[in-house]
Structure 1
């Protein structure tokens, strides 16, 4: 790489890596703030000179107005995924010495989210993070024209520098592939809410993996992520139409396991079951649940990194590949009899 190219592409994180310090220290040096040791300041200045780094004028203009507070708009539900994302993002923010002001929206509709965003703006937050559980909110994200950065955690086929996600689509495909490779040819699906981005991507992955194996897709039934909905659907599930079920999340799978027992069906002897999330209880069910694990800690860190880039170096924002999932094989799946 030539020096000219380095000058065009270097950002505050490159300077921090070269100097062996945090990006916050680089920011303090750039803004001539106290509490930086002379030797550290000299090392940062040398790295700046070596990389010919020029900070964003817009970012520098914002420095004196920052509150070091990030607004988080989270759904007012106890679902494992959104709750885990919110928790791990808060941990990542604290590690970067930012406070998090959380607003829970009881309604997932776009109007409620827009109202929550407006409330956070009045509190002069430095950035806003949205945990998206309704596809309509994605359009809100795209329509917002704010003076501060907005980062959304949302599964979507569309890529954006301001969207981060775990790869729900490939996670679903890995679950269905596991069942197909065991020899199952009729694989049913219990889906999540119809407007939930995660559920939509998991359905898409289920359909595409079935098509890859030339297997028929029976129209899925939709639950609401709860064990109760999984149990209700499980009592009516046409198991005669299939020997395996891919369930949109683990809590619905827990309800399904109970319903299948009530119907006198054994897992995995009669029906194999795969969940999604790898909740802490998944390995202690009877039988232990095969499921797709999501790394919510890594997602929380990625969200925070996107926020920092958007604040410090908005010109450096790039699209990210969704984080991978991991199939965890336990005793709820086996080859069909």
Structure 2
């Protein structure tokens, strides 16, 4: 550390502050110290620092389904944002269970002592206020508002309403809906927003078609939608929307000429044909804000629990049009 201080022309205390990410050092000084560290080949001894401070310099990330594009992209963004600090990421995937609150509690106990804080993918967590969190460990959660923890979420309801309003403005008399599975809190939020928007516009509310997030369930919905005479459909994720488009094509139903289709997530918008009109979830922004929020707490900044909602805009592409008849 003395060599770094000499090369940068600062005190060893200043070098220590830079290593520990103190806000008390001016940006130009931080730049000088980092440059000097690179020149002399200095690397902080994280293990020794952990022994002195009682900190592990690691954060725990708990997720339930990394096969789903959204969770995987969010975790990737958390890792990318955390890489710019001295904190490592310890990832644990929980098996789906009827009692996720209990499962998350057990996972946090297992990881206690190995991490300084937790980021929880709590999108499907129905009782987050009941989580058994180790004492003194900060928690930030991806999901809807929660009294105990700060949360970062996507404004899903506003995104669905924008999609329904757009289709009605094109001239469709009503909008059908392909939902996610019944156990999903996210699916319930999107379904409720769809129904309320139709009610507000005085439209007929068609029966909900249940899907399971997979393209095959979207493809299976095509036959029902054709029989129902649907001209516009909002689908709860892009995978099911892509499957629906394929299923409609098999039945001779043209998209968007005969039926408009809107997805949700914007993970397949430009890789299907026709290109998919969809509601965008900014997974990268959500992951980055989760990491920033937790790291801020670990560095001593506490403002109580807060809720941030990332906008979910409608992205219009080729799968929607005015009804032809």
Is TM-score (shorter-chain normalized) higher than 0.5? yes
Return the match for 1:119 from 106, 110, 114.
Answer: 110
Return the match for 2:255 from 254, 267, 290.
Answer: 267
Q: Which residue of 2 aligns with 1:166?
A: 154
CA distance in 2, matches of 1:63, 1:270: 68
Q: Which moved more, 1:177-186 or 1:143-152?
A: 143-152
Change in Cα spacing, 1:295 to 1:146, as seen in structure 2 (3 Å) is: same
TM-superposed CA distance for 1:30, in Å, is 8.1
Q: SS of 1:106's equivalent?
A: coil
Change in Cα spacing, 1:30 to 1:96, as seen in structure 2 (3 Å) is: closer
Which blocks of at least 5 consecutive residues in structure 1 are unaligned? 1-20, 42-61
TM-superposed CA distance for 1:27, in Å, is 5.4
Contact 1:192 1:224 (C-alpha < 8 Å) held by counterparts: yes
Change in Cα spacing, 1:209 to 1:103, as seen in structure 2 (3 Å) is: same
CA distance in 1, matches of 2:134, 2:205: 41
Return the match for 2:272 from 285, 288, 307.
Answer: 285
Q: SS of 1:136's equivalent?
A: coil
Under a length normalisation based on structure 2, what TM-score does the superposition of the two structures give? 0.79
Q: SS of 1:184's equivalent?
A: coil
User: 2:222 aligned with 1:234, yes or no?
Assistant: yes
Contact 1:135 1:195 (C-alpha < 8 Å) held by counterparts: no
Which digits, 9 at most, give the CA deviation of each residue in 1:64-119, with x for residues without a partner?
12111001111134111111111111111112231110011122541333222222
Under a length normalisation based on structure 1, what TM-score does the superposition of the two structures give? 0.76
Which blocks of at least 5 consecutive residues in structure 2 are unaligned? 1-13, 31-50
CA distance in 2, matches of 1:244, 1:133: 28
TM-superposed CA distance for 1:207, in Å, is 1.7
CA distance in 1, matches of 2:52, 2:292: 18
TM-superposed CA distance for 1:212, in Å, is 2.3
TM-superposed CA distance for 1:145, in Å, is 5.7
Return the match for 2:90 from 85, 88, 101.
Answer: 101
TM-superposed CA distance for 1:158, in Å, is 5.5
CA distance in 2, matches of 1:327, 1:198: 17
Q: Which moved more, 1:225-234 or 1:79-88?
A: 225-234
CA RMSD of aligned residues (A): 2.8
Q: SS of 2:321's equivalent?
A: coil
